[in-house]
Amino acid sequence: MTRPPDPVGAGPLEALRTLLDSASHLLGELTDDPLLARWTKVFAQIPAADREAIVAILEREMQARVTAAAVGDLTGLSLRPNPRARIYTRVLTDDPYPNPERAVQQALRAIHITHNAVAPMDSEWQAIARDALGQASAAERASVEHFARELLSLVDECRRRLDSPQRMRS
C-alpha cells in the first residue's frame, strides 16, 4: 500500500518514519534470534569484574578464527569450536575452611551412591577395589581401614539405638 504524499515540510517526519522502520527491523532481527537471547542472558550473569577478561578472550579467539580462515588454503589449518572449552580456571584456595558436618554428610552420601552404582556388578567391583587398594600406599590403606572400622562401629551403634524393638513399637 502506498502512502499519501506528506504535507509540505514533512521531510523530518519521513526521516523519523525511516529511522523507526529501521529500528523496528533491527529489533526484530535481534529478538528473533534465540542464540542472541541466550547470549544476552549469559552475559548478564557474568560478574561485572570478569566481563572485560571474557570479552578479550572471545575477541582474541574470533581474531584467530578469522585469521585461520583467511590463510586456511595455504596452511591447511582450520579452527572449530571446542564444546568442552573452559573460560574459568579451577583454583583451590590455600587454606579452605570446609564445614565438617557437611563434609561428613557428603562423604556418607558418596559412599551410598558408590555402593548403589557398584552393587549390580557383583564381584567385579571388588576386583576393581582390590586393584585400587593394591596401588595405594600402606598409609593410605591403613587410613581407609581405620575409617571403615569407625564407620562400621557407628552404623552398629545407630542400628542398636534406632532399630531397637522398643523404638519399632512406638
Task: Classify 170 as helix, strand or coil.
Answer: coil
The domain segmentation of the chain, as residue ranges, is: 14-75, 99-135, 138-170
Higher pLDDT, 94 or 147: 147
Specify the pLDDT at position 169. Answer: 56
Are 132 and 125 spatial neighbours (Cβ–Cβ below 8 Å)? Answer: no
This model's pTM is above 0.75? no
Whose grid coordinates read 552420601? 109
Cα separation of the two ends of the chain: 84
Per DSSP, helices labelled H in the chain are 11-31, 34-45, 48-75, 100-118, 124-135, 138-162, 165-169
What integer is the mean pLDDT of 103-115? 91
Q: What is the pLDDT of residues 57-80, one digit of tens each?
A: 999 999 999 999 999 888 898 999
Quickly state the pLDDT bin for 94 (edges 50, 70, 90): confident
Query: What's the CA gap between 129 and 15, in Å, rounded?
Result: 77
Q: What is the mean pLDDT of the chain?
A: 87
Are 71 and 79 spatial neighbours (Cβ–Cβ below 8 Å)? Answer: no
Higher pLDDT, 45 or 37: 45
